Amino acid sequence: MKKGIYILFLSLIATSCGSLEDLLELKVENSLTESVVVSIPQTSSTAVAFDLSNTVSLNSGDLAQYKDKITAVKINSLTYKFKDFTGNTAGMIPTGTLKFDDVVIGEMTDFNISDAATAGTVFEISDAAKLSLIESNFVNNSEISVKLSGTVLSEAGVMDFKVEVFMNMTATIKQ
């Protein structure tokens, strides 16, 4: 009988310790919006290469106070869109890539920026493998680079626009 009580008592303590660890873990939801500003000069009949980037950091918003305690990041949603377009509406991106560090999240071929910006088209990233790589990059580095590169063709004049990336995530914080 005493052995049974001891086993029950030890089981209760072991279960309680696991629960205490859960209590010391905090989940914080945060949304980040980052824009890459693009200004394309008028080109001739040949596409011109471009390579632009901006940094997205976990050291902002609700997560700033926890930056050294983040143990995991879960991306709930990741989207991007083209906005604030002005200039040559016939301008194109013959080939382009949008990356988070080295993770390709969007590829463009013969892409009309004006059409996408005017329509307000939102591109959603739902590939679990890509999201997992981005989550790991955030935990390991606390910041990542958003990179837009490729070629652009704008024979009838300049083009200005933004590529806006929106991410909603939940970070696990160890207390």
Average pLDDT, the chain: 84
Q: In the chain, how many H helices and how many E strands?
A: 3, 8
d(CA 131, CA 100): 10
12 pLDDT above the threshold of 60: no
Q: Check if the beta carbon of residue 54 is closer than 8 Å to that of residue 34.
A: yes
Output 132 or 62, whichever has higher pLDDT: 132
Q: How confident is the model at residue 16 (pLDDT cuts 50, 70, 90)?
A: very low
How would you class 44 by CB atoms within 10 Å of its CB: exposed for 0-12, middle for 13-18, buried for 19 or more?
Answer: exposed
Is 11 within the bounds of a domain?
no
86 found inside a domain: yes
pLDDT in tens, 121-133: 999 999 999 999 9
Q: What is the CATH number of the domain that holds 84?
A: 2.60.120
Condensed to tens digits (0 to 9), the pLDDT of residues 90-104 reads: 999 999 999 988 899
Query: The domain containing residue 30 runs over which residues?
Result: 26-174
Helix, strand or coil, per DSSP, at residue 19:
helix
State the amino acid at position 109 in one-letter form. T
Q: Considering its fold, how many domains does the chain have in total?
A: 1
The predicted structure's pLDDT at residue 153:
93
What does pTM read for this prediction?
0.79
Among candidate residues 17, 91, 98, the one with its CA nearest the CA of residue 52? 98
| 77 located within any domain | yes
Q: Is 17 inside a domain boundary?
A: no
pLDDT, tens digit, 9 for 90 and up, residues 18-29: 444 444 688 888
**Nearest Cα to Cα of residue 173 among 9, 30, 1:** 30
Q: pLDDT above 70 covers what percent of the chain?
A: 83
Q: Which is higher by pLDDT, 149 or 26? A: 149
**Which one has a higher pLDDT value, 8 or 114?**
114
The DSSP secondary-structure symbol of 126 reads: -
The residue type of 133 is L
**DSSP letter (8 states) at residue 121:** -
